[in-house]
Structure 1
Amino acid sequence: MLQSASPSAGPDRTATSRAIVLVGLMGVGKSTVGRRLAARLRLPFVDADHAIEEAAGMTVAEIFERFGEPYFRDGERRVIARLIDGTPKVIATGGGAFINADTRALILGQSTAIWLHAHPDVLAERVGRRDTRPLLRGKNPRQVLAELAAIRNPIYAEAHIHITSNKTPHETTVNAILKAIRDGSSAGAAPA
């Protein structure tokens, strides 16, 4: 269960010495929460998928369609390595980024990794609003997300901090992240 924390008066300086990288399944809120977290910490925010699209000159869906997932994952790894450059910032990653062993080692070694976790039903409701996710096209989102969670959650669990994202305002999740960073522990530990 998510442990809420009271909002801090100002930015939390303990988190600003390294990049903060948000990992987790699609639809968990990495980009939305990441933007708000960055604003609270007064740090830049970068969406890794947008950075990949800029570098490639095409959308993630187009990269998947034209070149396949292995090609995309290789480019994703290179972009994330460039983003984790020692400059403090908040980075939202795509759902599969942390699954790549090289990308995961980079994130774990050079940043603070935060796993945002939500139940597949919550995720399916969130991602069902748009048909822009290559791994979900023409499939049952709830089923795909449950299968991905079964495979990926044990890997996401390697992240330094675990935060459960329920059907609550995004600020609640941001507050839980700030509290976990301050306390140096997981808040609302997510199940493996």
Structure 2
Amino acid sequence: MAEKRNIFLVGPMGAGKSTIGRQLAQLLSMEFIDSDNEIEQRAGADIGWIFDIEGEEGFRKREARIINELTQKQGIVLSTGGGAVLSKETRNHLSARGIVVYLQTTVDKQFERTQRDKKRPLLQGVQDARQVLQELAEIRNPLYEEVADITLPTDEQSAKLMANQIIELIENFQN
């Protein structure tokens, strides 16, 4: 890949965006950025705290601003938060400024990967996390599909294998 196009990873929580993104960036010698980590660093607080203080709406505004800024960089692999696609403006920025890869996963796999994770504000203090994941999937999956240039299921493969698959698909996509 002579020209380093931005690669943006979208998908639900637990799809493997951060893990696969790190592998991808390493293989391509590109900078990896996780938008959630970037938000936490700039705020000096974790996402759970931001949700508690500003609510989801305040967090989403902050997220949209940061993703707008990050997508203007060149040669990055960006892992976005699961809800980043809720903003039409963010979807437009992602589409216009790089190749968008939708990492698809099942609700069962998400549940398995996130059930012990205490850093998921939308799953904290809920009676039925699986039901929440299902409801989020119904709203967000069509948005991931809308913005994606490439869609890839992540359920049964290692991050390294997924990263290599993405590289192959991107090279084919660009030709």
What TM-score comes out, normalization by structure 2 length?
Answer: 0.93
Q: Deviations over 1:19-41 (max 9, x none)?
A: 11100000100000000000001
Residues 144-153 or 43-52, more deviating = 144-153
Task: Trace 1:27-176 onto structure 2 (pairs within 5 A).
Answer: 27-139=14-126, 140-158=128-146, 159-176=148-165
List gaps (5 residues or longer) in structure 2. Answer: none
- Counterpart of 1:130 in 2: which secondary structure? coil
Alignment size in residue pairs: 172
| Percent of pairs with identical residues | 40
Shift of 1:176: 1.8
Matching residue of 1:7? none
Q: Which runs of 4+ in 1 moved over 4 A?
A: none
* Alignment RMSD (CA, Å): 1.3
Shift of 1:182: 1.4
From the two aligned structures, give the one with the greater helix fraction: 2
Amino acid at match of 1:87: Q
What TM-score comes out, normalization by structure 1 length?
Answer: 0.85
Contact 1:99–1:156 (8 Å) recurs in 2: no
Q: 2:7 aligns with which of 20, 26, 29?
A: 20
Shift of 1:61: 0.7
List gaps (5 residues or longer) in structure 1. Answer: 1-12, 186-192
1:101, 1:50 → 2: CA distance? Answer: 22
- Counterpart of 1:135 in 2: which secondary structure? helix
- Counterpart of 2:121 in 1: which secondary structure? coil
Shift of 1:172: 2.0
Shift of 1:141: 2.3
Shift of 1:144: 1.2
Shift of 1:86: 3.6
- Counterpart of 2:9 in 1: which secondary structure? strand
